[in-house]
Amino acid sequence: MSKIESLTDRLEKSARAVRAEDVASEIERQMGEARIETIYKKRILSQRTRRYELQAAGKASKVEVLHTLLGIELKIGNRRLLCPDLATARYLAVFARMGCEQVAVPYDITQISRIADEMESSWHRMMLLVDHFTEGRSARLGFSVRRRLIENARVEINRAGAGSKYPQFNQKTSQRRKPL
């Protein structure tokens, strides 16, 4: 019997009502290293980054990636942000869905696509686990579990920080000789 089935059986057999905190903590435990906040801390903040101001209002918003004549845009609620490429828009969309104000974006653009794939996979896996654990229960429980998971991830990302506004360059650029 898999872990998911055993938890579902335990939840069904328990006499007390299922609490959103319990379901959320079980989902976080099962996701382990694949959680969005863990990927953010280990894969993104470990490299050179720049800070990006999303200003997603601290709450989950409707997020769309738009292909326009001007290029790729990320629509958060009623605002539109111009993005340099599709990978960056996908990457920022994950954080916008969680309502993050500021995030770190990898300076090396070749890394963004792979990280965006991981982040989107983590997001969709989390939503599928919520649907699985709340199947046959009230919609209110599902909403509460989603909200709790998103809030926990947003708090962890804010706690980790968004890095400096401009990336750090460790190379010396001055070529002038100092006078003797």
Quick one: tokens of 37?
Answer: 């906040």
Question: Does residue 64 form part of some domain?
Answer: yes
Domain extent for 73: 3-160
Question: Does residue 166 form part of some domain?
Answer: no
Question: Does residue 167 form part of some domain?
Answer: no
CB 61 within 8 A of CB 77: yes
What pLDDT does residue 15 have?
38
The pTM (predicted TM-score) of the whole model is: 0.79
Res. 145 pLDDT band, cuts 50 70 90: very high
Quick one: tokens of 149?
Answer: 């998971």
Question: Does residue 56 form part of some domain?
Answer: yes
Question: Does residue 133 form part of some domain?
Answer: yes
Quick one: tokens of 28?
Answer: 């976080």
CB 154 within 8 A of CB 100: yes
Distance CA 107, CA 178 (A): 32
Question: Locate tokens 């960056």: which residue?
Answer: 88
Please write the tens of the pLDDT for every residue from 111-124.
999 999 999 999 99
Nearest to 157 by CA among 113, 104, 111, 117: 104
Number of domains the chain is built from: 1
Please write the tens of the pLDDT for every residue from 128-142.
999 999 888 888 988
Question: Does residue 175 form part of some domain?
Answer: no
Please write the tens of the pLDDT for every residue from 87-104.
999 999 999 999 888 899
Model confidence at 155: pLDDT above 50: yes
